[in-house]
Chains A and B, each alone.
Chain A
Amino acid sequence: MAEQVGGPAPQGEQRGTGARGAPSTWKRLLRYTLTRLVALFITVVIGVYLTILIANMGGYVDEIRRSQIREQIAVKFQNDPAFRALPPEERQKRIDAEVAVEEKRLGLDKPFLVRSFNYLKHALTLDLGRSENMTSDSGSRQVRLIILERLPATLVLFGTSQIVLFAIALYIALYLSRHYGSWLDRFFVALSPLSSAPGWFYGIFLILIFAAWLKWLPFGGMVSVPPPESPVRYALDVAYHMILPIMALTLSSIFISVYGWRTFFLIFSSEDYVEMARAKGVHPRAIERRYILRPTLPTIITSFALGVIGVWMGAPIFETIFNWPGLGRVLFHAVQLFDTPVIVGSNVIFAYLLALTVFLLDIIYAIVDPRVTVGGGRQS
């Protein structure tokens, strides 16, 4: 873990150890980096293996799959007049043969424990492999494509909304921290409980108002039918279809985000060194930038980074309400089908992204916040 060393005030000038300390610093940095990477990797391994176990209900899914296979094949044959003309023992033989083929295809001829470690090995090496039942939108069984084909749509909606929300929330929060107790401040505080409802909840109302009643905006989907041929018109059409979902996402989070950030800034605004700066007559904008924003930067960056990688998982119900082709629905569908490779594939990427983000944040903290060092020890 990055070590936060409390200090009375941000002293950017204290950063750096100088040329004399370089060899030991590099060694320390390297040791820290390696230790950190190993720890994160072990965390990823444990997380991914737990995902495999959960996705397969500890192997119980095998039983479910076997039941489904046998029933589906038996019913399929039952509806085949040619099959019904066969003697009973021959019919059973045929059913057993097809069941065996399907079980082999799904790997059910091997013990779950063996398969679980195979899943783990493939996942950790990012060999996402093939899905068991699902296909990508373009019909591929490669987990990579199943995920990648949905990624742009997910990023454009949730990424945009995340950026919009983040920027607006920060901006308003800063404003409110400067105008503590104003009517606008009270307004946001009063409305913050609205964020207890999820985005899809607001989505339903927004669809009813703006699509069904006013007919200003589309009910859902990502583009019009059929999709426009010109890239520019296509982009405008996507933007038009994004208005309602972004409104819903923003509405569901803006008040609590503003409330949270505003409170956070208020706490920092009352620190001694800020009061000292005010007393010295430093310009309010400079106080905001140097004495409030700067020390809160690690938290802001962490929040933003985790928010952005959280986009990876999508939002199944929200995407369903807006008929948006995002990753959330893919993952939800995979869970319904017990499609382990897709579940594991999606989660392992998230795990790596999370680990990488945490690792990079450690370094970024050290860059943006002079109170933080990596590898332990106090800087002098």
Chain B
Amino acid sequence: MWRNRKLWLVFALVAMLALALAACGQEQAPATEAPATEAPMTEEAQPTEAPQPTEEAKPTEEPKPAHTGAWVDEVTFITETDSQAAVTRLQEGLIDVYAFTIGNPDLYKTAKEDPNIKVVEFFGVYNELTINPYGVEAEDGVVTERDGTKVKPEFDNGAMNPFADPKVREAMNWLVDRNYIAQEIMGGLATPKYLPITSAFPDYARYIDTVREVEAKYAYNFEKAKEVITAEMEAMGAEMGEDGIWTYNGQPVTIIILIRVEDERKEIGDYVANQLEELGFKVERRYGTFSDLGAYWIRGNPADGEWHIYTGGWITTAVSRDQGGNFEFFYTPRGLGIALWQAYRNSPDFDTAAEKLANNDFADMAERDELFRTALSLANEEAVRIWLVDQKSFSVVRSDIHVAYDLAGGISGAVLWPYTLRVGDEPGGSVTWVNADILSDVWNPVAGSDAIYDMQAIRATGDWGVVSDPYTGLAWPQRIEKAEVFAVKGTPITKTLDWVSLEFVDEIQVPDDAWVDWDAEAQKFITAGEKGEPMTARVKSVVYYPEDLYDKVTWHDGSPFDVADIVMSLIMTFDRGKEASAIFDESYQPDFESFLSVFKGVRIVSEQPLVIEYYTDSFQLDAELNVSTLWPQYGYGEGAWHTVALGVLAEQNQELAFSADKADALEIEWMNFVAGPSLEILAKYLDQAMADNYIPYANTMSAYVTEDEAKARWENLKAWYDAKGHFWVGTGPFYLDGVFPLEKTVVLKRYEAYPDPSDKWLGFGEPKLATVSIEGPARVSTSAGEAVFDVYVTFQDAPYPADEISGVKYLLFDSQGTVVASGSADLVEDGHYQVTLSGDVLGQLGVGANRLEVAVTSIRVSVPALESIEFLSIP
């Protein structure tokens, strides 16, 4: 029988260990009770205005109140690092959304073929070859660099660097077959890229004609590359040996390629190496990770000759409406203060264009257009980078899930996902949302986690003054009603949407009562009048909030939204950057100084309705993006004045710190509003604040917060903490219901008091990508009077409204690939345009196959739709 006892002992041990873990896990799990929103804890809780049935109305016909806020009742975030496993779980219906960015062509095929899975595609990752252009400066140098400097094609150690010659660099564009990389190496999940702008972003569509010309010019042409490089190598004194290898000063010319191994860049590096070997270069392939190779190209001195080419990759996580700065960043010494960048030598024309574009130093959009086209045309002659592909990434969701996604950041990067996520077409239901991680770092709105995995959930708990259009990068009003933008004449700003007005003025004076700075000791704002010197600004925005703002919007703990929440966020912007402050943070100072260098003032014109003016010297090209909406979004989440105040108390007493840097410096905990050792400390200060009826920065804030309001806020927060076990309080469509750190699980629930109807952002459920088709003659006589081609633009088989189309441009390529003509198509009716090629244009075509390419750009989506038709020209 002792054997049985032994077995029982084993089982008992297993059970005890499981129970021990259960006890540990439960300690971290907060108590979950009924949501606070079901019984708001506000002192001024607004009763739900249920529709009153009329006498005539039968019970069955009683109108239902419009569904507000989020469509779904619950979203649970969990983790899965293996994409293959996640797709399998999605196929099995065990999860609903896999928001992780996938780039695996096999999985793409699997997902596309499964009717139960919907694939959402987005851009933002791109690849290039970083070239080391260093050459020893010498008066007798045989190579003339782009800025006119004479250089020898050598490193300091005497080894040859053919890429010191700009023409060799330029020829690399013809040497690499971008279509091969996109189709064969990336499995179709990429599009060829020739320029430092992203094909899914507005500047690509804006300059599509120039872009297409450049793309045609630098299309793959191995023979041309060989011809140019051979000629240049000979001119530089290199000789082709009998073994087919280039030599220089009697030594074989060896090209060192740094090849990243973490992704498809390994295959790309090998492909480029093979192509160079075909030209007669000896190639040394150095494989490694970012850590292994970073020290060569980032930290190393390009003059040392440790490398020639590096397989680079970059990422943009949001649609950028102005990529003008890319030329300066990627090509000029001003781009990055490290040795490689200092080896760049630019032609004066390119340099001027790059600098002006980076600094928005142009009078109007026409001048910008000219500068941009110059930079686009010259970029591949500078050729310190050879652009390869724009990657197409994807995420997968169950086919009955609808959700907005960002064209650059995917599902998890979209601000609008919480407002658009729904299961089927009816409200309700729950969604299991999976990504590679959650709770990557601490959550605090001031300087907490910025990990994309955390931000995807954090976004859902907060709201915004304006929200970013995931398909164009433009801004739409969310918590504001309208805005006016005033800009000094000569500032290149344009306007697209009607909710904002734009006016140019001679001068913008900052009024005397505007706040321009902060006195950390007196805890008061300093006005322009107190500064004593007249101040001007380049841009002023006036933001009008809705009259019922304070009635409609409530924090998740039931506290009504107040102007004090906005004032507190302003104070925090200044106070953390002031050395005299008890919450001064050295790591915040560079950001703060950047802010101060352009900030000119802010003025609360009216509290009810709320109207705020903002003055700045910084501007962006779109009026919509120049609207400075003050809303208590701190950058890492939304924060009510009373929750942030607890953090201020904890940091003042050096028990917690908002930022990781300050926490490290003081060797205290990094503040976490949702879990961990911080909670106990914050709870202590909550009790203290309740006892003292604390109003933070009382010298300023007491003008906006009464004693009663403060008391109610502390009581609400106490009740919230007791119920939920955390301090994360927002105004967004979801509230944070449960946090399970060890289990890596976060549960969000629909906030029932959210005021907006659920269908507010329904139109943004998916990008309005146009479909283009062209119809026209298959043969055209070069002596004919004209030729007409019909262009049809549709979305989901319906004509694309003309007022949503920003341009229908065409390019005519002859049989040699040369652009013969370009222009805009004529509108016939919604969704129907015509391109008319005149007799003069037709006369310029030789006999052969020609190509008419049409690019359609929309104000609803930044990705242009491209289509082409071929036709024969005959005498």
Contact = CB atoms under 8 A, between A and B. Distances in A.
Interface string B636-678: 0000000000000000000000001101110101101011111
A325 to B, nearest CB: 5
Given A136-B676, A137-B439, A156 B20 contact: yes
A82 B597 contact: yes
Given A67-B295, A225-B432, A138 B664 contact: no
A171 to B, nearest CB: 7
B664 A105 contact: yes
A85 B618 contact: yes
Interface in B3-35: 3, 6, 10, 13-15, 17-26, 28-29, 32
A215 B88 CA distance: 12
A138 B590 contact: no
A70 interface: yes
Contact of A63 (B22, B299, B586, B747): B299
A234 B26 contact: yes
Contacts of A101: 586-587, 589-590, 661
Interface stretch (A48-56, A90-98, A343-351): A90-98
Interface in B598-644: 598, 617-618, 620
Which of the listed residues A81, A139, A150, A160 has the most CB atoms from chain B within 10 Å of its own CB?
A139
A83 B594 contact: yes
Nearest to B315: A75
Interface in B71-118: 76, 78-82, 85, 88-89, 92, 94
A38 interface: no
Contacts of A159: 17
Given A140-B677, A163-B10, A80 B742 contact: no
Contact of B587 (A105, A135, A338): A105
B298 interface: yes
Contact of B21 (A96, A171, A215, A235): A235
A139 B675 contact: yes
A145 interface: yes
B615 to A, nearest CB: 14
Contacts of B24: 152
Contacts of A160: 13-14, 17-18
A239 B14 contact: yes
A163 B88 CA distance: 33
Q: Give the interface SS of chain A, mostly helix, strand, loop or mixed.
A: helix
A7 interface: no
Contacts of B360: 84-85
Nearest to B299: A67
A9 B330 CA distance: 80
A339 B665 CA distance: 17
Interface residues on B, range: 35 or more
Interface string B18-56: 111111111011001000000000000000000000000
B94 A227 contact: no
Interface string B418-452: 00000000000000100000011111000000000
Contacts of B26: 231, 234
Nearest to A233: B22
A145 B442 CA distance: 14
A371 interface: no
Contact of A94 (B14, B358, B594, B743): B594
A54 to B, nearest CB: 14
A70 B336 CA distance: 9
Interface in B539-588: 586-587
A191 interface: no
Interface in A129-165: 130, 135-142, 145, 149-150, 152-153, 155-156, 159-160, 163-164
B218 interface: no
Contact of B337 (A92, A102, A152): A92
B359 interface: yes
Given A163-B10, A242-B18, A229 B590 contact: no
Nearest to A238: B18
A310 interface: no
A86 B738 CA distance: 44
A320 B81 contact: yes
A86 B17 contact: no
A20 to B, nearest CB: 40
B334 interface: yes
B683 to A, nearest CB: 15
Contact of A164 (B10, B88, B291, B675): B10
Given A85-B617, A212-B88, A235 B741 contact: no
B325 interface: yes
Given A163-B13, A219-B94, A141 B298 contact: no
Contacts of A229: 29, 32
A225 B672 contact: no
B594 A68 contact: no
Nearest to A329: B81
Contacts of A105: 587, 661, 664-665
Given A138-B741, A219-B89, A78 B329 contact: yes
B19 A235 contact: yes
Interface string A315-329: 000001101010000
Contacts of B299: 63, 66-67, 70
A238 B294 contact: no
A371 B118 CA distance: 71
Contacts of A68: 290, 294
A287 interface: no
Interface string A37-77: 00000000000000000000000100110111011001001
B295 A138 contact: no
Given A141-B670, A153-B21, A235-B19, A171 B6 contact: yes
Nearest to A92: B337
A305 interface: no
A74 B337 contact: yes
B593 interface: yes
Interface in A164-180: 164, 167, 171
A70 B298 contact: yes
Contacts of B89: 219
A78 B593 contact: no
B14 A164 contact: yes
B311 to A, nearest CB: 16
A21 interface: no
B13 A78 contact: no
A198 interface: no
A225 B745 contact: yes
A70 to B, nearest CB: 6
B745 A141 contact: no
B504 interface: no
Contacts of A92: 337
A16 to B, nearest CB: 29
B595 interface: yes
A64 B13 CA distance: 46
Contacts of A207: 85
A231 B587 CA distance: 43
Contact of A85 (B81, B597, B744): B597
Contacts of A358: none
Interface of A: 60, 63-64, 66-68, 70-71, 74, 77-78, 80-86, 88, 90-92, 94-98, 101-102, 105, 130, 135-142, 145, 149-150, 152-153, 155-156, 159-160, 163-164, 167, 171, 207, 212, 215, 219-223, 225-227, 229, 231-232, 234-236, 238-239, 242, 320-321, 323, 325, 338
Given A60-B295, A235-B21, 7 more contacts: A70-B298, A78-B325, A82-B598, A226-B76, A231-B23, A235-B19, A239-B18
7 contacts: A70-B299, A80-B594, A85-B359, A139-B674, A155-B21, A229-B32, A238-B21
Interface of B: 3, 6, 10, 13-15, 17-26, 28-29, 32, 76, 78-82, 85, 88-89, 92, 94, 290-291, 294-295, 298-299, 325, 329, 334-338, 358-360, 432, 439-443, 586-587, 589-590, 593-595, 597-598, 617-618, 620, 660-661, 663-665, 667, 669-670, 672, 674-678, 738, 740-745, 747
